[in-house]
Structures are given as C-alpha cells and as structure tokens.
Amino acid sequence: MTSTKPPTTPPTSSSSPSALPRRTVLATGAAGAAAAGVLGSGVRPAQADPTGQPGAADGAERGKATHEVFQHGVASGDPLPRRVVIWTRVTPTPAATAGSGKGGPVTVTWQVAKDKRFRKVVSKGRFRTSAGRDHTVKLDARGLKPDTEYFYRFRALGQKSPVGRLRTAPRKRAALDNLRFGVVSCANLEAGFFSSYRGLAAREDLHAVLHLGDYLYEYPTGEYGMGQDNVVVRPHDPPHEMVSLEDYRRRHANYKADPDLQALHARYSWILTWDDHEVTNDQWKNGAENHDESEGDYKVRRARAHRAYDEWMPVRMDGTAALGDGTRLYRRLRFGNLAEVSMLDLRTYRDEQVSTLAPTPVPALEAEVSDPSRSITGKKQMAWLKESLTRGDHAPQWKVIGNPVMIAPVTFGDLPNDLIDPINDVTGILPGDGAPYNVDQWDGYTADRREVLGHIRDHQVKDVLFITGDIHSGWACELPLDTSTQPLYGDSYGVEFVCSSVTSNNLKDITGAPQLTPLVETAILANNRHIKYLDFDNHGYSVLDITPERAQMDWYVIGARDDAATPIEWSTSYATLAGTGRITPVDAPLEA
C-alpha cells in the first residue's frame, strides 16, 4: 500500500485473540459447510488413521505431544503440471512459538493422495525441520499428474495436520475451456476479519488463488487499524512494528492463526507476490518511507523480511521450494494453451519514488517521473516481462500479469485540495496541487510503462491482462499508450482489473464521509476515459474467469469488517473480449 503512516492512537480493541471463532463450518451456506467438512479450518490433536493402518510417521517421531502441533494450518502453492509446493509449521513444544528459536529438530512425514481418506497415496516422504527455519516445512510434492485434484497432510509428534486440497496445473499445451482464480490483496489483521477468505474458501469452482501483495502489515498495534480512529479489531503480534527476524516470523504466525485464512489455504493452492508491507511501507531497493536509522540497516531488515516470507509462504523463491536468499520472487506459471501467469516483484528492484513531500513544480515532477534511467521493474525483470509477453508460436493465449501496483495512468487534476490527503492514503502520493501523478505506482515510472505498452504495440501482442492489488479499491481500466487524446485515446494495449482490499482502509473509511466518494469517482472517471469502473467504498474479493473468448472479473463485497460472520454479495462484473483490449460491463456474475 502507498499510504503514509497515520498518527498513532491508543488501540481500541473490539476483539481479542481468545475471541476468534475457531469454526469448522463456514458461514456462507452449504458449499462452505462442505468445504469445511472435507478440509477442516483449524488445528486438531492426533486422530486414528482412517485406513486403520499404523502410520509410518509414528515410528519416526520421538514421543508424542499433548499440545497442538499444527497450529498454523497447511498450505500449497505455485502449481505445476507434476509438482506443487506444500507447506506447514510444527510447534514441537509449547515454548517453541514462532520466532522463539526454541525447540529441537523434528521429523515430519507428509503424504499426497487421490482421496481424502488417504487410501490411494501417490507421493510421500519425510522432512527434517528445526528452529533454524522456524520449524516450517516447505517442499515440492512431486510425481503428480497434470490437471488433477489431490489431498495432502502432514504428521509429527503423534498428531496429524488438517487435510489440504490442491490441484496441479494442466499440461503445457493442453486445450482448456476455462480457468478461474480467486483474487485478493491488502489484508490487515487489525482492520477486520478475513471474511473475503471465508467467501472464497466456500467456493468449489476455483483453480487457484492469486494474492497480489500486502498479505500482512508491519505496523505496531493501534497505528493502522479500522477507520479514522484506527480501531483495533484484532491486535498484532508482536505489538511493536516488525523489524527483527523474530518480529517477522511472529507476525506471519499471527496472521496464519486466522481460521478463514487457514481454510482458504487448505482449500486452494495460492500464487502470491509481495508488495511493500511484507517488509515496510513504500519500500524501494535501498530504503523505504517507513524505515529510519534507528531501525538499523534497511537491506538487513529487508533480508529478514524476505527470509521469513520464504519460510512461511508456499512459494518458490529463486525457482525452488528450498530456502534461498529471497532475491527472486518474480516467476511464471503456465496453464495449458489458455493462460500464463507472470507474477511481478515491483519493490525489490525499483528506484526511489519521486518525492512530493515538498512543493515540486509540475514540469520538474514530469521530468522526474518520465526519466528513462528510473525503473520500477529493474532491467532484468523488465527483459523477463517483455519475454513473458512474446514467447513464440506456442505462447498461451492470455498473458496474465500479477501486478502489485496499478499500471493504468490516472489523472486527479480536478479534485478539491481537501480530498488530496485521503486519496493519497488509498491510491498513492500526490502533490498538493492535484497534479496527475500517482508516483508509488507505474505513474511514477512512466518510461517503464511506455516500454511495456510499446512492446505490446510493436509486437502486436493480444490478450494482455494486468491483475492488480494495492490501492484498496476496485477498478476496471483499458491501457492506452497515450491518454492525451481523450476521450478518443486510440488503441488499448491491454486491460487492468484491480481488486478491492480484504480489510485495509479505503477512501470511505479514511474520510468517514461516504457522501464524498461519488464526487471523487466522478472526477476521476471524467478525467480518465480509459477507466470504466471505480469503487472506493467497499472491501472484498474478486473472481477472475478466463476462456478462449473472454476474460471476466466479478467483484464481491463484504459488510462490516468487524463482524466475523458478515454477509458477502456480488457487486459488479466487467469483461474483455479476446483480441480487443476493451472492457464492457456484464449483467451477472459467473455461476459458482
């Protein structure tokens, strides 16, 4: 997220960790109940093996635990045709909490099966974990068949983990009728319950979940909560800002204790990238807005954050499930001939954002944001992205770009000055005169944007789809190379769909004045004819469906963030027809 830190206020707690509902039935109807019944959404003690056979794990374990061993659920991610990353964490002793460094080595056994009772095990093995990796378990489960659903679980210290479900990717050139992804970003634990995760976990129709960044937040308790008063719905652990490796590990554990997050991880494989808050606000390659000398060397802090992310997330860093140095998260995942998903990292390699904290003449600002020596991607990732868009005769039809920050140009020139600060907190950093730049996003690196869109134009690439998070609002945009001829801005070289935040504050939350939202939305839409849809008021998730004929995004919205059982309903849908680069509204959501 691109916000500057709000003033610190005393935390107002409307809930506590002990009040979290450890439910196994999701409150969204029969589909949710079925999902919970199959997978479980919480931790559980040892059980009898449903096959009636003694488990190999029991013989490998040194004693049995009387406390809950699998407190953080299970997860899978980065599906390939014959292998998928699977993950869990064990708590070998009550004192061996996340980040504590306590607890000895543990041998964990794992199984992948065709059936949920594990009578048809197709892959299995052992994994040795220890405090050196925070007792996390992450590995590639291999030997699987393409486009196939499997179940997986772990065993350690006499207990079994919850059962997870995963689906492998199709063969490289498989012809597919459709792909369907859940889409989420910006989930702040202190700002509300993760009802969006509950809604997606209740569905039976997804291939995977795309998470576009800000999986967690670095702030101390009470600094960035719900609404104008920063109400703390659920407190962060640790209560101070995360800076050390222990801090980052504890915060990951804090989030993964959430039952709705556990349920969605268990139900579907995730494809993730990070934005800024996984390290700290508005980070760039050599620093961050929310980092100062008192917090030590920035690159050391970032290395700690990346290490914890590598340990706690079901992703391949540097192309492998083994723990690495965390420098390479951008990667591609292919889904037959229909689509390839390219996940970007727009923090690790970017140059510093153009500063607008002091008055800056607009011509000087324009020169800085368009300086070709400044990059949001870095040279290597830019070359990789351009290759992703033009991969020869056998390239998949849809080029889906997992994009942590918005690429569509946005002009805010007609907005009243008293709305600039609230909009900054949601969408980016703007100069006080409302000049047309959103400089933490691609608007602050326009040479990179022109290079990408120019590459699409020059190579006549079709069906480019940017799927974006970060700005706590829903958008549907066409992507012109030049907006100066509005409303007749010429060709569109792709489409961008932006999902709302799971819980993080939007414009209505920050201003406390929902009557102002229509004014802002009207001004932005009037000045940006390539933007077809904008919602500054709601939280929720999206569902992206791709077929050879079109790509459609459905936006779903939740009710009250501080109500764990809040209702969820469909809001709107937009689609782009294959080969057009244009967007049209759709009257109804896809059938679940």
Residue 1 domain flag: no
- Asked whether residue 409 is assigned to any structural domain, the reply reads yes
Average pLDDT over residues 390-416: 85
For residue 378, what pLDDT is reported? Answer: 98
- 48 in the same domain as 37: no
Q: Are residues 182 and 114 in the same domain?
A: no
Does residue 481 belong to any structural domain of this protein? yes
In a domain, 92, yes or no: yes
Residue 2 lies in a domain: no
Tell me what the mean pLDDT of segment 525-534 comes to: 91
The CATH number assigned to the domain holding 431 equals 3.60.21.70
When pLDDT is averaged across residues 220-244 and rounded to a whole number, the result is: 97
Is the pLDDT confidence value at 15 over 70?
A: no
Domain boundary residue, one of 113, 132, 161: 161
Do 152 and 235 lie in one domain? The reply is no
Q: At 346, give phi and psi (nearest 5°).
A: -105, 30
- Domain extent, residue 450, equals 17-42+162-586
Domain end position, chosen among 108, 126, 161: 161
CB 472 within 8 Å of CB 438:
no
Give the model's confidence band at 465: pLDDT under 50 very low, under 70 low, under 90 confident, else very high: very high
pLDDT at 173 over 60: yes
Parallel/antiparallel/unpaired status of strands 136-141 and 84-89: antiparallel
Which pLDDT value is given to residue 413? Answer: 59
**C-alpha dihedral, 81 to 469 to 472 to 73, nearest 10°:** 30
In this structure, are 30 and 156 located in the same domain? Answer: no
310 has a pLDDT exceeding 90 = yes
154 and 185 in a common domain: no
pLDDT for residue 262: 98
Question: How many whole angstroms separate alpha carbon 395 and alpha carbon 136?
Answer: 36
Residue 59, both tokens = 């013989």
9 inside domain: no
Dump pLDDT digits (tens) for 115-137: 999 999 999 999 999 999 999 99
76: domain CATH number is: 2.60.40.380
- Asked, for residue 3, whether it belongs to a domain, the answer is no
Using a pLDDT cut of 90, give the percent of the chain over it. Answer: 73
* pLDDT at residue 258, rounded to an integer: 98
pLDDT at 490: 79
| Together in a domain, 566 and 509 | yes
Q: Which whole number is the average pLDDT over 349-361?
A: 72
- Tens of pLDDT, residue by residue over 62-103, are 579 999 999 999 999 999 999 999 999 999 999 999 999 999
Q: pLDDT grade, residue 48 (50/70/90)?
A: very low
Which among 139, 161, 183 is the end of a domain?
161
pLDDT of residue 188: 98
Residues 491, 573 share a domain: yes
> Is 37 found in the same domain as 59?
no
Question: Does the pLDDT of residue 255 top 60, yes or no?
Answer: yes
Is the model's pLDDT at 11 over the cut of 80?
no
pLDDT at position 16, please? 33
432, 581: one domain: yes
Shared domain for 326 and 214, answered yes or no, is yes
Residues 401 and 517 in one domain: yes
Residue 379 banded pLDDT, cuts 50, 70, 90: very high
Total of domains in the chain: 2
> Do residue 157 and residue 185 come from a single domain?
no
Contact criterion met (CB below 8 Å) for 270 and 209: yes
- Residue 353 in any domain: the answer is yes
Residue 450: pLDDT above 80? yes
Least confident of 437-446, 451-460, 569-578: 437-446
Report the side by side order of strands in the sheet with 270-272: 136-141, 84-89, 74-77, 270-272, 208-211, 179-184, 540-546, 550-558, 568-577, 584-586
- Mean per-residue pLDDT for 385-408? 92
Q: What is the DSSP letter of 220?
A: P
